[in-house]
Amino acid sequence: MRKSAAGFLVAFTCIVLIGAGSQDPRLQKAYRFQQGGWTYVHLEGSPADVGFQHGYLLAPEISDAFEAIKLFDVHESNRDWEFFRTTAKQALWPHIDAEYQQELQGIADGVQAHGIKLDVWDIVALNAFEEVPDYYLPWLNKQNKVAKNPKLVAPGNCSAFIATGSMTKDHQIVIAHNNWTSYLAGERWVIIFDIQPEHGNRILMDGFPGVITSDDDFGVNSAGIMITETTMTQFEGWDPNGKPEFMRSRKAMQYANSIADYVRIITNGNNGGYANDWLIGDRKTGEIAYLELGLKNWWLGGPTKDGYFVSSNFPRNVGVIRDETSGFDPNDLSSSPNARHARWEELMQQSRGKIDVTMAEQFLSDHGDSFEKKEQANERALCGHVDASPRGVKQWGWDAYNPGGAVQGKATDSAMASKMSFAARAGHPCGADFLSDRFLEQHPEYSWQKPLLRDMKAGPWTTFTAGQKQ
């Protein structure tokens, strides 16, 4: 009985898939296939065509992901979905470049051609699912003197590192990232996008159905740029005149030919939304850099040809911590961001000169708790399992046993990036499965997620390359 809603959705989307069968000329160059728990899509052409292909080919996944995000956002914010649609139309759309407006409209056209009733405002709101609930809305509530909803705080998404020079086995760049989020969103964050746009560079990135940027941000482009990020815990700030983060991050991935380009594009029109620490590499030069992008303060580490940067949701710049967080404490070594920071440093020191993609995959699967000095899958492990933690992560508003943590991982190096390639694993990077029925029996306080929370089973590490057909 309890599964009936999810079962219905799957049945419904299958019927829609079979029923469509359109041979629209816009779809000619596009295709999809599934591998290792991921859905790979190749998109190619004008912004409108890339959008249409995205919407059409991923219509079932977009419909399903949309319901999950809607359920989550409405529950956490106490606002109805119409609020998110209105925000998309009035606060975000005017600040989106024409190229990406066309792509977003294309996604809406594509899903509609598949019989799914979502319009462009639903799609824009979906694209902003990181920045509106946790950045714009807290700012808006403050402006309007609405009592702050404690659940609405910047998320702590991800563990990542980038290394080069004497740190790595071949002295070139290695970069890796695991995505931390709710399992509700994370079990759907399993798209590989191979985008060949009309303008700019080709992109290979992981991503979320219906969203034009990677959004947990891991990708490589055909100019040799390799990027990832982690968010800054307890960040607060929003500029209503800025450009949405989901557009700036996509634009930087598409148009950057150098680290300097990337920094210029991502900072242009910074709105403070989804404020991240960016790890950026350029395989052409072997250089890496770290951009801590607050709204009032930024800090750029590097570029350097020798060294590493680790990242796990801890702001490091004094100005950012002081002016732009609600009291982030870098000295609380028991907190998830700081415990993972310490573990990253241990791993980097142990691994000098040895780091390669295989080792990076092991790092992403690591369960070392640096605070309690033991192996344990919990909120302090690089491979996060907050559902196993009686502490939760209070800095993110994650209560005890919150069903969230590391939901997938990716790793690559300069040699793979030169072929537009990376390795990816769906589900917990350590390979453990999350089983929703068992979890909800033990933790009925999360039963509101029951209609859409499902098992998150880990796939194998799988290599994806731009242009591959299956």
Q: Does 458 bind Zn ion (CB under 5 A)?
A: no
Q: Which is nearer to Zn ion, 167 or 406 (CB)?
A: 406
207: nearest Cα among 186, 235, 226: 186
Buried/exposed 415-439: b ≥16 CB within 10 Å, e otherwise: ebbeebbbbbbbbbbbebebebeeb
Q: Which is nearer to Zn ion, 96 or 377 (CB)?
A: 377
Choices 208-216, 227-235, 386-394, 422-430; region in contact with Zn ion by CB under 5 A: 422-430
Query: What is the C-alpha to C-alpha distance for residues 321 and 330, in angstroms, rounded to an integer?
Result: 9
CA 402 – CA 151 distance, rounded (Å)? 12
Angle (CA) 68 83 238, round 5°: 95
**Alpha-carbon distance 195 to 116, whole Å?**
23
Q: How far is the CB of 431 from Zn ion (least distance, A)?
A: 8
Distance CA 425, CA 180 (A): 13
Angle in degrees, 0-180, between the axes of helices 245-255 and 259-267, rounded to the nearest 10:
160
Task: Compute the distance between CA of residue 40 and CA of residue 65 in angstroms, rounded to an integer.
Answer: 16
Q: Site size for Zn ion, by CB under 5 A?
A: 4
Nearer to Zn ion, 388 or 400 (CB): 388
Q: Which of 54, 70, 188, 428 binds Zn ion (CB under 5 A)?
A: 428
Phi/psi of residue 297, nearest 5 degrees? -130, 145
Burial of 260 (0-12, 13-18, 19+ CB in 10 A): middle
Q: Rounded to an integer, what distance in angstroms lies between the CA atom of residue 332 and that of residue 125? A: 35
- Region near Zn ion per CB under 5 A, out of 131-139, 339-347, 383-391, 449-457: 383-391
What are the Cα distances from residue 23, in Å, to 13, 129, 205? 19, 32, 27
Rounded Cα distance, 178 and 383, in Å: 7
Nearer to Zn ion, 414 or 436 (CB): 436
- Binding segment toward Zn ion, per CB under 5 A, in 36-44, 282-290, 371-379, 445-453: 371-379
- CB nearer Zn ion, residue 265 or residue 430: 430
Judged by beta carbon, residue 289 or residue 377, the one nearer Zn ion is: 377
Q: Does 283 bind Zn ion (CB under 5 A)?
A: no
- d(C-alpha 167, C-alpha 289), whole Å: 14
* CB closer to Zn ion out of 269 and 459: 459
* Piece of the chain touching Zn ion by CB under 5 A; list 30-38, 197-205, 229-237, 379-387: 379-387
Nearer of residues 124 and 190 to Zn ion, judged by Cβ: 190
Pick between residue 123 and residue 407 the one whose CB is nearest to Zn ion: 407
Integer angstrom CA distances of residue 292 from 102, 274, 330, 365: 30, 12, 15, 25
Binding piece for Zn ion, criterion CB under 5 A, among 186-194, 207-215, 222-230, 426-434? 426-434
**Which of 167, 256, 430, 453 touches Zn ion by CB under 5 A?**
430
- From 43-51, 78-86, 219-227, 430-438, give the range in contact with Zn ion by CB under 5 A: 430-438
Residue 424 or 430: the one with the smaller Cβ distance to Zn ion is 430
Contact between 280 and Zn ion per CB under 5 A: no
Omega within 30 of 0 (cis) for the link into 303 = yes
**Min. distance of Cβ 439 from Zn ion in angstroms?**
15
- Is there binding between residue 383 and Zn ion (CB under 5 A)? yes
What minimum distance in Å lies between the beta carbon of 206 and Zn ion? 18
Beta carbon of residue 366, minimum distance to Zn ion (angstroms, whole number): 8
Measured from each CB, the residue nearest to Zn ion is 430
Query: Interface with Zn ion by CB under 5 A: which range of 152-160, 189-197, 305-313, 376-384?
Result: 376-384
Is residue 92 within the footprint of Zn ion (CB under 5 A)?
Answer: no
Residue 187 half-sphere exposure, CB side, CA atoms within 13 Å?
Answer: 18
What is the binding site for Zn ion (CB under 5 A)? 377, 383, 428, 430
